[in-house]
Every structure is written in structure tokens, then in C-alpha cells.
Structure 1
Amino acid sequence: MELFSLLRLQAIPNIGDQTAKKLIEYCGSAEKVFRTKKVHLLKLQGLGSRILQELHTKQFGKAAERELRYIRDHGIGYIPYGRKDYPKYLRHCSDGPILLFARGTFDLKGKRMISVVGTRNSTSYGEAFCDSLVEDLAPLNPVIVSGFAYGIDISIHKACIRNDIPTLGVLAHGLNQIYPRNHIRYAGQLESNGGFLTEFWSSSKPNRENFLKRNRIIAGISEATVVVESASRGGALITADMAHGYNREVFAVPGRVDDTWSQGCNQLIKMQKASMLTSAADLIYMLGWDLPAPKPEPVQKQLFISLDAKEQIVYSFLTKNGKNHLDEIALGCGLSVSITAALLFSLEMKKCVRPLPGKLYEAV
């Protein structure tokens, strides 16, 4: 059974998400990983004999059986990597989880998604910004993601519930508990208006290291991350750095230079790691959400435009598929994001491609 095999892979400490994906891709499925002979698995680069030995260690199989029983007994939803409903943007992250556990009513297919994070010591300024941001985004009905923690996280979730916008809480522990305990009162409302997502088993506690792992999901699942308030150090800045590393748009709400809880946001803007966000209109414009696909104007092209092989692949993809995000173009063409970005710039110079807000491109 594929779910049981995915759980077995998750149970092995020395097999991370990247190695697990490599194994699944090589063998064809998680189930086939455990049926493939060791001699064939050894052909995979970076896969040592110790990992191969652990693949068939009984204790990991028994742990997977216990978690499988919990999932079935409690009606826990699950989303394996590779399935159509696996979050679109998270699929592009090499370290994205091979298996997610879910509870709630959310449907992410075709949805606009942004992540909103910030300090646990939110001020009235930050909380008011969360309210106005959600109110102004309501007509677009995006899914807004956060971490269900104190401060900005719970403020943005509550604003979404009030405005009937789907909201997703990404947890740093299993779905058998709620942390912090004070937020149990919001759990039912959140499930009715979105839900919870986690990569952690029912046996996982909200340990410090789990929050760092959780942050990569918040950063990777959306096309943009917004930092509302942050001190000069903190988890929100780590999430922003992760989003920046994933080539996502990052926004930061500016504050007074002497405000402790605006230091991190001001720093992100100053270092050009984030665009300044003063209202929902900034985000809507930068992501191109309110811009209809522009009608191409007649262009007198050169009769013979010289494109090399890789430029032709990218240009043909855009011609066939229309306007697309940089990550989608890279994935569709089988190229890295950095190489694709360079090719798009070259095509833009040759007047074959037009850049649009939100890292979108279209063929001219």
C-alpha cells in the first residue's frame, strides 16, 4: 500500500524528503522502493549501505503501522507528493514533504495563495494591518496561510474567518493536538473555513526544531510571503529568507524606525529582500492578480530571429501554454530556475517574450 510505504520512508531518520523523492522517482512509487533489490538501489548517488539496511528495519515498519492505524481511526486526510492535489508551489521545493496530513474543508486547486507571518508580540498597528489586508483581498478569495501561533499568525487567521476567506494553519506538530492551547477555541472555526496542514505524525510534539521545518512549508506553499511585523531576529525573518530562497515574492510592512517590532520588516526592505507593502493594492499589482491578460499588440517581428536550442524550448512552451510563472516555465521545460530566468531575459531582449508583474512571462 502506497500510504504505508510513504510512512515507512518518513519513519527512517536518515532518509530526508529529497532522498525519499529520489528513491520514489527511481523506483516508480514508494511501494516499489521496498521491493527493489539493493543492488539496483546502490546505483543511486548518495545512497549508502546504511540507508539501505534501514529500509527494512522492523522498528520503522512497526512505527508506520501505528501511524497508519491512527490516520484511519481518526479520519485524517493525507496528500502525497506527486498527487494532483499536492500544493502547486510546494511541488517546486526540493525539500518539500513527501507526505502531508490534513484536516478541514480546504481545496487548494487553482487557488491564489499567500502566506502571512510576523511576530508573536503583535501590536495594534500590525493587527489593524491584518484586518485591512484581508478585507481588501476578500473579493479575490485567496487562501491565506499562516502558522496558527500567537500574534500576527492568529490575527490573520481571525481576520480571514470574519471575512469568510479560506485560511490554512500549518502546524509544527501532529493533528492530534493544538498548540498553543489557548487557540483551541479557534480550531473549529478554522476547520470550517479552511483547515490545518502538517508533515508531522501524531506522536510529534511542538519542539523547537519542528517550527523551523514548519516554516519552509509556509514559505514554499504560496506564491508570496508577507511579513507584517518582526523584530530584528525571529521566525518570521527565517520564513522570509526561505521564501526568498525559493524565488518567491516577499513583502514587508514598513514601520517607524524606532519601533522594535518593525525592525525586521524595515531591514528586509532596506536589504531589498522584500518589496514594501502599504496596502493590499501593492500586493495585487505586484502579483498581477487584478491584471487581465493583456491583448498582444501587433508587432513587426524580424523575419529571421536566431534562437538557440534552449531559447527555442522556452519560447515554444510559452507559445503553447500562454502566460506562465517562472517556476512553471522551468518545470515545464525541464530546466533550472536560474537558467530559465537567463533564457527569458535573452528572449526579452530579442523581443520574443514580455515580462509581467509577479514573475509571469508570455510570448509576444
Structure 2
Amino acid sequence: MTTNELLALLRLQHVPNVGDVTAKKLIAFCKSPEEIFKTKRQHLLSIEGIGTHAIKSLYDIEHLEAAEAELNTITKNDWEYSYFMDEDYPNYLKHCIDGPILLFKKGNIDLSSRRVISVVGTRNITSYGQAFCEKFIEDLAPLDPIIVSGFAYGVDITVQRAALKNKLQTIGCLAHGLNQIYPKVHSKYVMEVEKNGGFYTEFWSTSKPDRENFLKRNRIIAGMSEATIVIESAERGGSLVTADIANSYHRDVFAVPGRTDDKYSSGCNNLIKQQKAHMLTSAADLVYLLNWEIAKKAQPVQKQLFVELDGIEKAIYDYLQKEGKQMLDSIALECKQPVFKISSTLLNMEMKGVIRPLPGKLFEAI
């Protein structure tokens, strides 16, 4: 990317009322970020979904001046960045319509691994949550996943420290610029994270860790991962927002159940009860539903002859035979059964060799 292209992207980021969705429309129409500012306003208004409110201040000189100042900071600090059309931009995030047009990064991030998961949860982690985090990451270590979180208090820093302990790459998504760390007490972990992973942010050096920034960065945590895991959460909290965003992206969501009277398990219990998340009791649950173990072994599944299927199994098999690959939720809806029951039935059918799981909650008949 040339300096002028980066300057144009920064300028675009600084314009109020032009979010990432609108910015991508403008770039697609004009063929490059630079051309946006060379195109007449009336031509931009011809783009579907673009109104005068979105572009009324597009050409104001203040946005160019702000972009030039930030470009100088980026150059001075030798910060790296990824444009949403670049090869090194997080692959899963590319498929999110509201993914940032530009990400700033530090460290040694290597996204060549296809196994990327986000782990989030309460800042008030309990001993139960801490023990689960550590055991969960330890058990996943042989599969070498990338662990993404928010580098915040509680579950975030616990799971990221566990990743480092098990020599797994970990990525912290920040709600502020790369020139600071929040909370400051976590500064002692920065060098270790940068050695085996790093940090992503969409925020400028002038951005402060305001509440709305944390909510905004949650879409990056959810978007750049194959699945989002909620370890502990109260009835309300940022981790539940992340789970909702992950669901909106049609990504797998998992939640760790807890005691019904435990304040910091109520959010997870509700996610499971409302069928917004798979129940996660161990790393094995995640490995099975994401099809990681099967993909690793790469063993062909052969259909057994004269297999006996019960009523629900036959209904599922006939549905998959007729419709082809289908998502877990669609199968449950078609068979009028709860997701947890369909999950166990699908496992039995897989053992019988009549279906096979595919990434993304998909299943197909053999």
C-alpha cells in the first residue's frame, strides 16, 4: 500500500457518519480510497444506500489534516497495518460486512492457522472460571489454535496467559490506539504477547479507552474467529454483546454452564437456555462441533450396511439426503427437536457412519 492510499483510508476513517459499511461501498464504487476524494459529490450520491448525511463533510479539510497527523504517528512508531482487501487481513473478518477497513497491529501475528477462536467473559472471574480457562487451553494446545481476546481483566487476561503458558499464539484486540495499554497493569504482559502473537486495533493514537470503544471492538473479537466461547458472564455484560455479534455473523458460540444461583454464570446459562450457544463442558465439545479432530485425523468415514435408524435419525437422514448439507439449527427446526437433542442424535449417527460433520455446524448424509 502506498502512503497516499493509507492517507486516504485514514481520511475516510475520520469522517463522521461514514462507517465501515459505507466506506466499503465508496471504495468499491470509486475503485480505490484515493479516488473517493477525487469524485464529485453528485456521483457518490448515485451509490445505493449513500445519502447526503453520510458524505456532507467528506471533503472537509479537517479530516485531511487529522489523517496527516495520524500518518506521521504511524510512520514515526513504525506501526504495521492491514487493509481489508490485503492478504494479511484476518480471513474470517473479511466476511463481516462491518469489519474495519483498516487495522493497526503490533507483534508477530501469523494467521496461517485456520483454527482461530475467541474467548471472552466477565472481568470478575471466579476460581471456577479460572480453572476452566486454564484446563480448556491446556487441552486445546495439541491442536495449536490461535486464542483471541480483549486483554482486559478477568477471563480475557486469564485465557491469554494460559495461551502463552502453553506456547499458543494469542491476539489481544484493543479498544484504543497502539500507543497505550489498558488496563495499565497488563503492560507487563505486552512483550510476551508480542513475541507469540500481538495486538489488533482499529483505533487511532488519539483514541481513549472509552466505553463505546470496547463495545465497538467486540465485533473484531467475534468477527476474526471461527467460534466465540463465553467462560463466565453475569446477566448483562460485554461478553454477551460479543456472543450476539458472533451469532449475527453465523459463527459458532459456546458457553460454559454454571450453578443456577451463581451471579457470574447467569449470562452463560441464559445463552444455553435460549439456544444462542452450545453448552461447553470441556475442550472435547469444541473439537467435536468444529470438526477439528476429524479434520486432523483425516480418516474417511464409511457407511455401514443395513444400519438401523430410529424415528428421529431416519427423519434427519432423509432430510439431509434430500436437501444436502444443512446447519445444525436447520436440522433441529425441520425435526422439531431442541438443538441439544439433535446434537446427541447426530453424534450417534456419525458413529453409525451414516452422516459426517463439516465445519460451521454443517452436516451431510453419506
TM bin (shorter chain) = 0.7 to 0.9
Where does 1:83-98 land on structure 2 (aligned, <5 Å)? 83-98=86-101
Partner of 2:259: 256
CA–CA separation in structure 1 for the residues paired with 2:169 and 2:292: 17
CA–CA separation in structure 1 for the residues paired with 2:364 and 2:37: 43
1:95: Cα distance to partner? 0.8
Aligned length: 319
Where does 1:14-93 land on structure 2 (aligned, <5 Å)? 14-93=17-96
- From 211, 219, 222, the equivalent of 2:222 is 219
Task: Check the 8 A contact 2:175/2:201 in 1, yes or no.
Answer: yes
The question of 1:100 aligning with 2:119 is answered no
Distance 1:361 1:68, change over 3 A: farther
The question of 1:122 aligning with 2:101 is answered no
CA–CA separation in structure 2 for the residues paired with 1:167 and 1:354: 31
Where does 1:52-201 land on structure 2 (aligned, <5 Å)? 52-201=55-204
Task: Check the 8 A contact 2:164/2:170 in 1, yes or no.
Answer: yes
Task: Check the 8 A contact 1:285/1:357 in 2, yes or no.
Answer: no
Give the alignment's TM-score, normalised by structure 2: 0.82
CA–CA separation in structure 1 for the residues paired with 2:60 and 2:365: 52
Where does 1:242-281 land on structure 2 (aligned, <5 Å)? 242-281=245-284
Code of the aligned partner of 1:113: V
Distance 1:165 1:45, change over 3 A: same
CA–CA separation in structure 2 for the residues paired with 1:45 and 1:208: 32
Code of the aligned partner of 2:169: P
Structure 2: stretches of 5+ with no match in the other structure:
305-322, 335-354
Counterpart secondary structure, 2:292 = coil
Counterpart secondary structure, 2:57 = helix
Cα deviation digits, residues 8-52 of structure 1 (max 9, x gap): 110001100000000111111111211223332121123233544
- From 287, 295, 300, the equivalent of 2:300 is 295
1:170: Cα distance to partner? 0.3
Partner of 1:283: 286
RMSD of the alignment, in Å?
2.4
Task: Check the 8 A contact 1:254/1:278 in 2, yes or no.
Answer: yes
Structure 1: stretches of 5+ with no match in the other structure:
300-313, 319-324, 327-337, 343-352
Task: Check the 8 A contact 1:252/1:275 in 2, yes or no.
Answer: yes
Partner of 1:359: 361
Cα deviation digits, residues 275-295 of structure 1 (max 9, x gap): 111111110111001103453
Task: Check the 8 A contact 1:23/1:33 in 2, yes or no.
Answer: yes
CA–CA separation in structure 1 for the residues paired with 2:155 and 2:5: 38
Identity of aligned residues (%): 59
Give the alignment's TM-score, normalised by structure 1: 0.82
1:357: Cα distance to partner? 5.2
CA–CA separation in structure 2 for the residues paired with 1:30 and 1:214: 23
